[in-house]
Amino acid sequence: MTQSYQPRRSALYMPGSNARALEKAKTLDVDCLILDLEDAVAPDSKAMARDQIVSAVSGGGYGEREVVIRINALDTPWANEDLAAAIKAGPDAILVPKVNTPADLQQVAHRLAVGQASVNIKLWAMMETPLAMLNAASIGACGRDPEVRLSCFVMGTNDLAKETRAQLNPGRAVMMPWLMTCVAAARAGGIDVLDGVYNAFNDLEGFDT
């Protein structure tokens, strides 16, 4: 029996505050779109970005592209409204930043259940804090619990470097232990894992390699 597979050769973050970018994303040759309410959106634009993302995702037109909404961290004043809006929009997945423990994902999963979110909406977890690295195995194990809906880790290498005071040098040698820890945890939990963003966006040759 052939298992269906969703390719993620390219994943692009798009700021929810930029309506033109949300529209242009419908034409871009990418496999996955992460529509962002967090880092890419200024505090005074959060509500506007939330409304625009709901309108864009609800309106469709993204074809076979996987559509993910990244909400703000659970300890921020925007998280509850972000989550309610994401449930209403019905993306393929909701990306939760600053996941530190399984309890963070269980909290969001409970909200999905209470909000009667579509069973097709999955949870993705940003792995970007020192505590997340220490708890990677238990967070990844949530992938074995269908009620939590966890299906993917996303590495937040820039935030991880900032919080650990590690230097992101070419080759990312300092990151490799954490990256491999999360790969192992993801595989043990039966979920996928995506690498962090490529910062040198003008270096196409480096990006290709």
Residue 190: is its pLDDT beyond 70?
yes
Residues 59 and 110 in one domain: no
Confidence of residue 177 (pLDDT cuts 50, 70, 90): very high
Structural domain that includes position 41: 1-83
Residues 106 and 182 in one domain: yes
Residues 65 and 131 in one domain: no
Residues 46 and 124 in one domain: no
Into how many domains does the chain fold?
2
Q: What's the angle, vertex CA 37, arms to CA 193 and CA 61, rounded to 5?
A: 80
State the CB neighbour count (10 A cutoff) for residue 160: 24
- Evaluate whether residue 206 is within a structural domain: no
Residues 31 and 79 in one domain: yes
Report which of 178, 134, 138 is spatially closest to residue 155, judged by C-alpha positions: 178
What are 32-73's pLDDT values in tens digits? Answer: 999 999 999 999 999 999 999 999 999 999 999 999 999 999
Residues 140 and 62 in one domain: no
What are 70-112's pLDDT values in tens digits? Answer: 999 999 999 999 999 999 999 999 999 999 999 999 999 999 9
What is the CATH number for 39?
A: 3.20.20.60
Q: Compute the distance between CA of residue 33 and CA of residue 18 in angstroms, rounded to an integer.
A: 14
State pTM to two decimals: 0.93
Which residue's entry shows tokens 């940003």? 126
Q: Compute the distance between CA of residue 9 and CA of residue 85 in angstroms, rounded to an integer.
A: 28
Q: Mean pLDDT, the chain, as a whole number?
A: 93
Q: Amino acid letter at 6?
A: Q
On whether the CB atoms of residues 126 and 158 are closer than 8 A, the answer is no
